[in-house]
Amino acid sequence: MNRATIGLLVKHEMRMLLRDRRTVVLSILLPLVVLPLILFGFKFMSEWRSEQLDATTYRYAVTGAYADSVRALIGRGARLAEKDAEEGRQPASFVEVEVAEPDSSLSAGDLDFYLVTQTGAEADLLDLAVAGTDSAMRADAEIDRAGEDIADVTVADERYPGVPVVTVYFRANRDESRTGSGLLVDRLVDARKQDRTDELRRRGFAADPEEAIELSRVDVATPEQAAGFYFGRILPLFLVFLTLTGASVAAMDSVAGEKERGSLETLLTTSVSRFEIITAKQLTILSVALFITLAQAGNLFVYLALGFIEFSADLEIDVSPGAVLVLLALYVPVAVVVSSLLLLVSAYAKTYRETQLYLLPVFFGLMILTAAGLLPGVSLRSLIAVVPVANVSVAVREIMVGHYDIPMLLVTCAAMLAAAFMMLRLSSRMLGMERLITAQDTDAADLEGGAALFPRRVLLWFVGMWALIIIAPANVEALTRLEGQWAFNMFVIFFGGSLLMIRLHRLDWRQALALRPVRPQVWLAVLLLVPSTLLTGIFIVGLSSVFLPFPEEMLEKFASQLIPEDFPMWQILLMLALTPGIVEEMAFRGLLLHGLHRRLRPLALILVVGLIFGLFHQALFRIIPTAYLGMVLTAVAVLTGSILPCILLHAGNNAFAFLLYRSGTEVENWPPELLLLNIPVFVFAIYLLYRYRTPYPGLLPFRKKVPEDA
């Protein structure tokens, strides 16, 4: 590596960057201006909100037979609040409003909240009426009565007979309602406590019951350590966020921008090596990241000094110069890793726009790693020391409380630099990947669109389908029930999605769905595979549970949800065997395999299609068995070139599993040797498929070597 050449390249990169107004404005000037604006805005909003709430008179209503007693209690609470109020500050004010329908008044905004009261006798009667149900269910009954969908219900754990009940109804989506109801409940609690104390004294209790035991907590940490613990958790998040935002614009332009403009190819024909190009680009991004982070941090200190941001008075930050040096020494590897990662993304993407698409998951991924410092009980003296970014996050937290684990800090730095170096090598290799540096092939597919573009779009389709499967049931009640979920997944997602892909990409449906006839021997192999795939799968799951155990109750609960006892057999077979057998095979071994078969070599193809199939089965413990089944099914499709045997195998496997479950056969408890005996049948069936194979058309060769000219 030639240092002079790298210097020349860095100078060139910097010149290009600084001459790009868009980059300068977006990554340097804008954040410098926007940050104080945001901080000022927050400060203003927070003060304004506080003033508004202070000036608010909360409107409430009280209903029920116990209302008068509650009113008296509120009055006593108000007097206590006045007595305890900070000097110069008025306690919150409340006014009772007469309304006919508190529910509708609360909805209309005429009330901020209302209290429903019951005498002890009334509450006892209601308890009898809903006997057998617990207090939470009683609350549900109340909610149903009100015809409201209330998200947050807090009910006392247990009620003694004869104790009156007060329920406060409020709306958490309204500031006044949430705050006012909270303040009033606090007052009621204070008043009730005072009543209790008075009562105890009246009955001869000598001391203040609050002081029956003198209880105190003593924090032996210094204020600096307490503040360090607080800031140590936030600091890495803050720095990684700044580094990411600062470096991303420079990184996007760095390689992807050059690809788009066509100047990368010019650079690649010079006598500079690819690693030198990448190193220079990395140094440029790193310099920009460091500069922007330091500028932003300096900016922040200025606003701290100006009073835009105020810390709580009891937070004393006292970091020694040594600690600052160690923190800086740790921050540099973070900046190196972040800029290397961004460079890698830029090198992988073909266009500026594509880089923007990849940045979001990278951003979230890094922030999740950085959040490791928030995890309680995680120490640097653990495996976390070799997890890039997460290790620095934990290390910063420890340093901020004065704990220096020097050997582990060295391990952290080494892990970070190793990760950065690996990413640089990878980025450099990407400049050698023809698909990524020459735009012609992509352009052809882009221009042609439709079927030519499908291989590059297929994964996006499946990500969309997966997201819908996850999101829809959480928002549509009908989809939480088994039938609704089944109909939605099978007919809307898989069947509808498959048809949509065929239609929008103008695919030949016979080819895309791989509806090809197969040799008769294949059917025999599939019949052997039906039981042997399931039994081998159970064996594999048994093995995997050694490493990834799941509670037995959870598995049983899931099985009972998936296979309800009250459903007739034909309905279960239709829902769990026949329909998924057809529809899921159309989607996974049909379209997904069709889309990926020229992108991945057969072995990778089987693994990836199987894994994606597994990921669609959501629950963590189902991923291993379903991914295994997916791989077997994909192997069958690859060997036979058709989804027809896959349909039989998939439906047969599911039906067999259900029949075993219904008959009460607990295969999981069979001795492993018995399950092992099944493996030769499985292997023989696969051999039959291989022997009479009619491979999926257009598959890539198994190995990388390209065949000689035809």
Partner 1 sequence: MAEPVFVKDLTKTYYDESRGPVHAVRQIGFDCRPGEIFGLLGANGAGKTTTLRMLTTILKPTAGTAKIMGYDVAEEPVEVRRRLGFYSATTALYPRLSARETIEFFARINGYPASGTPARVDELIERFGIGEYARTRIDKLSSGMKQKVAIARTVAHDPPILVFDEPTVGLDVLNALEMQGILAELKAQGKTILFSTHIMSEAEKLCDRIAIIHEGRILACGTLESLRERTGAHYLEDVFVSCITEVS
**Residues contributing to the site for partner 1 (CB under 8 A):** 5, 8-9, 12, 15-16, 19-20, 261-263, 265-273, 432, 434, 437-441, 445, 448, 451-456, 598-599, 698, 700, 706-710
């936030």: which residue's tokens? 234
Question: Which CB, 35 or 459, lies closer to partner 1?
Answer: 459
Q: What are phi and psi of 117, to 5 degrees?
A: -115, 150
427, 343 contact by CB (below 8 A): yes
Q: How far is the CB of 31 from partner 1 (least distance, A)?
A: 22
User: Of 233, 252, 506, nearest to 390 (Cα)?
Assistant: 233
Query: CB-wise, 268 or 667, nearer to partner 1?
Result: 268
Distance CA 143, CA 148 (A): 6
Residue 125 Cα distances to 120, 122, 182, angstroms: 9, 5, 28
27 near 288, Cβ under 8 Å? yes
State the Cα–Cα distance between residues 467 and 490, nearest whole angstrom.
15
CA distances from residue 662 to 482, 559, 563, 585, 688 in whole angstroms, order as listed: 18, 11, 9, 25, 31
- What CA–CA distance (Å, rounded) separates 576 from 570? 10
Least spacing, CB of residue 420 vs partner 1, in Å: 24
| Nearest CB to partner 1, comparing residues 266 and 618 | 266
First-to-last alpha carbon distance for the chain, in angstroms, is: 41
Max CA distance (Å), the chain? 106
CB contact set of 31 (below 8 Å; sequence gap of 6+): 245, 246, 292, 296
DSSP per position, 473-516: HHH-GGGGSHHHHHHIIIIIIIIIHHHHHHHHTT--HHHHTT--
Degrees, nearest 5: CA angle 605-534-679: 85
Instruction: Pick between residue 8 and residue 418 the one whose CB is nearest to partner 1.
Output: 8
Shortest spacing between CB 12 and partner 1, in angstroms? 6
Q: 56 or 442, CB closer to partner 1?
A: 442
The minimum distance between CB 613 and partner 1, in angstroms, equals 21
Comparing CB distances to partner 1, the nearer of 237 and 451 is: 451
> Distance (Å, rounded) from C-alpha 255 to C-alpha 429?
13
Which residue lies nearer to partner 1 by CB, 173 or 440? 440
Based on CB atoms, which residue is closest to partner 1, 178 or 601? 601
Residue that is written with structure tokens 């799941």 in the block: 550
Distance CA 148, CA 116 (A): 15
Q: CB 17 → partner 1: shortest distance, Å? A: 9
CB of residue 13 to partner 1, shortest distance in Å: 10
Comparison of 452 and 504: residue with beta carbon closer to partner 1: 452
**Closest approach of partner 1 to the CB of residue 610, in Å:** 21
**Minimum distance, C-beta of residue 296 to partner 1, in the bound complex (Å):** 25
Minimum CB separation of residue 444 from partner 1 in Å reads 8
What is the closest distance, in whole angstroms, from the C-beta atom of residue 175 to partner 1 in the complex? 50
Identity of the residue, 142 or 258, whose beta carbon is nearer to partner 1 in the bound complex: 258
Give the residue from 415, 276, 247, 242 showing the smallest Cα distance to 341.
247
